Structure 1
Amino acid sequence: LKWRALRLDTGNYSWGSEAVTRKTRILDVVYNASNNELVRTQTLVKSAIVQVDAAPFKQWYLTHYGVDIGRKKKAPAAKKDAAEGQEGEAATEEEKKSNHVVRKLEKRQQTRTLDAHIEEQFGSGRLLACISSRPGQCGRADGYILEGKELEFYMKKLQRKKGKGAAA
């Protein structure tokens, strides 16, 4: 059976190095190797490069490693000092964890590595991903988060594309 994808705004995206999959919103189609027209019309096809919402992955990372990624290091501390009130109480409640959970998080911290490019993307709240399913055939836009050499390649492509747009 075929299910046409007429209008999609979400999909399941896998983060390969962390072996986790989350349902997330598709924000934008940014690159397509076959045809630039597909980018202009925001068409979702297999192997299109899209920007997806980083929030579900950020939330998972926070619960799994106890680290809030994509935040500026000094900004939250300054805000907490300025506004003590209810936010201060909420922060102390959140920090209460059992010894078992603390030990588990510390053990996970030892093996934790995060690519600088991905951390930069978490800061903007958008991750680059590739669609690996065929949305026109199965009605779903599922894929994977770009990492490593593949991410660097597409980041260069997008930088070049931005350069051409500014010059024209």
Structure 2
Amino acid sequence: MTRIGEKRIHEVRTRGGNKKFRALRLDSGNFSWGTEVCTRKVRVLDVVYNASNNELVRTKTLVKGAIVVVDAHPFKSWYEGHYGVKIGIKKGRVDAAAAAAAPEEEEKKKSSHVLRKLAARGKGRTIEDAIDHQMASGRLYAKITSRPGQSGRCDGAILEGPELAFYLKQLKK
């Protein structure tokens, strides 16, 4: 059973002399943001839901299909660099004068080519409200898609759309 903690992986010999990598403890993994086609290595912070067994949530066991909370910072910094737009800012926290002054200073530093590129990327840009709220808190819900006890890795995908809505409803119960 794989738990959250400092990385500890054992090599296991299997039939035919092949090897499995049994992860006993993991603290990070590669998670992909499907709609933005972006994958980043992020820290796994907590296990919050498991459809098969609540005991696995209580003991913070990482298994395939578990819903975990991951650090949002790598995705947030990528988004800000890619689109040139800050996301996950809590509404009403920053005064208007400071917010208006900061973007002007940054735009002066960027070349016209970079500004054209950011404007072209920004045309089709949309972000889900639920994802924006999660970015503001610094944590994202994700689903583990790999089998940590077999592959020694904890990879997954950020929850979005109806799947995110379903799991948020399950977590409120």
TM above 0.5, one fold? yes
Instruction: Quote the offset at 1:108 in angstroms.
Output: 1.0
C-alpha displacement of 1:105: 0.6
Q: TM-score, normalised by structure 1?
A: 0.85
Confirm whether residue 148 of structure 1 aligns to residue 161 of structure 2.
Answer: yes
| Percent of pairs with identical residues | 63
- Distance (Å, rounded) in 1 between the aligned partners of 2:60 and 2:146: 16
Q: TM-score, normalised by structure 2?
A: 0.82
Separation of aligned partners in 2, 1:2 and 1:77: 54
Query: Unpaired runs of 5+ in structure 2?
Result: 1-18
Q: State the match for 1:106 in structure 2.
A: 119
Alpha-carbon distance between aligned partners in 2 of 1:18 and 1:127, rounded to the nearest angstrom? 15
What residue number does 2:38 align with?
20
CA RMSD of aligned residues (A): 2.0
Alpha-carbon spacing, 1:37–1:66, altered in 2? closer, same or farther (3 Å): same
Residue 97, structure 1, aligned to residue 110, structure 2: yes
Bigger helix share? 1
Rounded Cα–Cα distance in structure 2 between residues aligned with 1:65 and 1:77: 23
Match of 1:125 in 2: 138
Residue 74 of structure 1, CA deviation = 4.5
The answer for unaligned runs of 5 or more in structure 1 is 82-87, 161-168
Classify the secondary structure of the residue corresponding to 1:105.
helix
Q: Which has the higher contact order (CA 8 A, sep 6+)?
A: 1
